[in-house]
Amino acid sequence: MPYETDFLSNTGSFVPTTFIFDVARLYEVEVTSPEFKELLVRLYQNLNLMAIVLNTKSTGYYLGTELNSSNQYYNPADPGNPINQRPGFITTVNIGALGAGVTSVNHGLAVTSTWKWMKIYGAATISGTPAGYPLPFAGATGNNIEVTVTATQVVINNQSGVVFTDATVILEYVKS
């Protein structure tokens, strides 16, 4: 699929994948020439683009420890200022087997009252089958799976009638 120039459909970070410098020409350029200065400008522009992309990407590591996700969230103290943003953090909590009723697992975070949960999501699976349920889950007849987070634990209330062999919850948050 070709790259579209429509801003609304391409709001992510993109780095050119084509080599834009002719190596043979680099050896021919005189260090004191205007061409060399132009080359330096282009190299710095390319390096700047790579730095911007690396700084705005969303990190795809789902580890059992806290990680800065590189996501940036608005700051309610200064909502109109796109420069004054709050960094996002992510951690993954291995729930393990998820039976009927309430299951509580420590998440290991030092949560304070200034933290804000941005996303709470995950999945539960049944070993040996292709079956998987999203967490949280809203069943048709009230057989829901609710996921809540306290200062110390991830609490799952499984009223689905299904027993799962493995579950994982992902927490995304800001600290102020």
Report pLDDT digits (tens) over 34-72.
888 888 888 888 888 888 777 777 767 788 888 888 888
Q: Which of 132, 136, 137 is nearest to 154 (CA)?
A: 136
Report pLDDT digits (tens) over 17-34.
666 677 777 788 888 888
Q: Is the dihedral of CA 104, 110, 111, 112 positive or negative?
A: positive
- Residue 120, SS3 per DSSP: strand
> For the chain, what percent of residues have pLDDT higher than 70?
89
Q: Can you give the residue ranges of every domain in the chain?
A: 7-56, 67-174
Q: Which amino acid is at 21?
A: F
Greatest pairwise CA separation for the chain in angstroms = 77
> For the chain, what percent of residues have pLDDT higher than 90?
43
Report pLDDT digits (tens) over 87-136.
899 999 999 999 999 999 999 999 999 999 999 999 999 988 888 999 99
Q: How far apart are CA 160 and CA 157, in angstroms?
A: 9
Which backbone phi and psi does 38 adopt, to 5 degrees? -65, -40
Torsion of CA 158, 159, 161, 162, to 10 degrees: -20
Q: How far apart are CA 147 and CA 53, in angstroms?
A: 33
Q: What is the DSSP letter of 45?
A: H
**Confidence grade of residue 152 (pLDDT, cut at 50, 70, 90):** very high
